[in-house]
Structure 1
Amino acid sequence: MPEIPDGSPPQPTTSKSAPSPPKPDAIFYTWSTFFSILSGQASKEERQEYFLERDILKEESDCKKCETQRDHLFKYSPTVRFMQSEVAKLGLDINSTNVRCKRCTADQSGGFDLNYGILLCANHMRNRGHIEDTMAHEMVHAYDYMRFKVDDWNLRHQACTEIRASTLSGECRFTREFFTRDQWKITRQLQECVRRRATLSLMARPACKDDVHAARIVNEVWDSCFTDTRPFDEIYR
């Protein structure tokens, strides 16, 4: 017989206690919240909870899909294969063992660490093209860390590698901006995209004070870093 907290047996009752309400079905909750989001009725907290639950439910399938696409890109993407070769010349082997697909809770597509490798946020990837852009972006970082000895605490270094990564990865090409980010400008679209993304990335650094500080650092290194297309001969994508 189960015991209550004080150790004495429970007393019999004449009527059954009310059953606990059933836990909400995760899939039903996800769909119901999804329609609330579509209709604009969901709060910010409900939106966050929806995406978190969705990511947890689909973590395994998201990671498997990401890994399949990653392996395909290592075989067939000219950009990924070229960057893999160029980074290898500097002494760092980037392959499927150190390009890892994981579920991320932060609002990011990926990341790079010289000791860990490349992170791909599987739950944030839209398609193979998005994964290719992200891999190329992080591989430019890998090249810069090996070629130029980037200092994690030097904001000028960080701004420069972010400018180069956004410029050379293809993530700022016109079609990507137009169809996925609602950026419809025609003139100087590439430069504005690179500045915007580099500034946002720099703002996440602990040493960066605010958006004004980040924009100032980006401007200071812009001329030399935006025109530096190494290891490419020109902006390829």
Structure 2
Amino acid sequence: MAHEPSSPGGLLGVKTVEEVQAMIHKSFELPKVKLLRQRMAEAGCPVKDKFFKAVVCHGRSGAGFFSPGQGMFVCSNHATFQDEVNQLIRAGRLSGDCHFMRELLRGHFKLRGHEQDCIRRRVLLSLFSNPSCVGSIAKDSMEDVWDICYNDTQPFDKAP
């Protein structure tokens, strides 16, 4: 994966790095994002604006990813709408990214249990993008912490 500060080349719907960086900064104004960042700072883990970076991603299919020690990267060649950027800044369970209508638009038609299936699928996609998580290590790791992580809605009283 390479990070380039340039535009992906005028493809329909594709944003430049600069445009996506502006979208990231717009996300910082959302009440839920403000609350999450405030609570993280209160817990001794402040998240500065520079933690989030817009880049051109090669060899990745998602709209963004986290890299330990480097920060959160938003792929300008995959994130085309403000709402996509907004969802990336919050975790899968709390972001609404696995809301029924979003899943329906992705072609997933399950009525019962769709949210947990979606979150599991997206967590695994994220883990598989890490070269250290090969084979069953990713799935086993997710299953080991599933109940604790899925039920943790902090800093919210319940999942939004």
TM bin (shorter chain): 0.7 to 0.9
Whole-Å separation in 2 of the counterparts to 1:115 and 1:235: 28
Decide whether aligned partners of structure 1 residues 131 and 196 sit closer, same or farther in structure 2, where only a CA change above 3 A counts. same
The C-alpha deviation readout for 1:121-146, integer Å capped at 9, x for no partner, is 1111131110000112xxxxxxxxxx
Q: Which has the higher helix share?
A: 1
Q: In the alignment, what sits opposite 2:53?
A: 100
One-letter code aligned to 1:125? A
Task: Determine what percentage of the aligned residue pairs are the same residue.
Answer: 27
Q: Larger relative contact order (C-alpha < 8 A, sep ≥ 6)? A: 2
Superposed displacement of residue 114, structure 1: 5.1
Decide whether aligned partners of structure 1 residues 84 and 222 sit closer, same or farther in structure 2, where only a CA change above 3 A counts. same
**TM-score normalised over the length of structure 1:** 0.56
Q: In the alignment, what sits opposite 2:82?
A: 128
**Local SS of the residue matching 2:65:** strand
Q: In the alignment, what sits opposite 1:202?
A: 127
Tell whether 2:118 aligns with 1:231. Answer: no
Superposed displacement of residue 213, structure 1: 4.4
Q: In the alignment, what sits opposite 1:62?
A: 16
One-letter code aligned to 2:95? S
Whole-Å separation in 1 of the counterparts to 2:68 and 2:159: 25
Q: In the alignment, what sits opposite 1:175?
A: 101
The C-alpha deviation readout for 1:39-98, integer Å capped at 9, x for no partner, is xxxxxxxxxxxxxxxx631399522321222222212x1221111212222242322x33
Tell me how large the CA RMSD over aligned residues is.
2.4
Which 5+ residue runs of structure 2 have no aligned equivalent?
Answer: 1-6
Decide whether aligned partners of structure 1 residues 226 and 72 sit closer, same or farther in structure 2, where only a CA change above 3 A counts. same
- Report 1:21-60 matches (<5 A): 56-58=8-10
**Local SS of the residue matching 1:120:** strand
Superposed displacement of residue 215, structure 1: 2.9
The C-alpha deviation readout for 1:3-58, integer Å capped at 9, x for no partner, is xxxxxxxxxxxxxxxxxxxxxxxxxxxxxxxxxxxxxxxxxxxxxxxxxxxx6313
Q: In the alignment, what sits opposite 1:81?
A: 34
Q: In the alignment, what sits opposite 2:4?
A: none
Decide whether aligned partners of structure 1 residues 79 and 58 sit closer, same or farther in structure 2, where only a CA change above 3 A counts. farther
Decide whether aligned partners of structure 1 residues 66 and 234 sit closer, same or farther in structure 2, where only a CA change above 3 A counts. same
- Check the 8 A contact 1:62/1:122 in 2, yes or no: yes
Whole-Å separation in 1 of the counterparts to 2:132 and 2:19: 36
Decide whether aligned partners of structure 1 residues 125 and 206 sit closer, same or farther in structure 2, where only a CA change above 3 A counts. closer
- Check the 8 A contact 1:88/1:94 in 2, yes or no: no
Larger radius of gyration: 1
Which 5+ residue runs of structure 1 have no aligned equivalent?
Answer: 1-54, 137-164
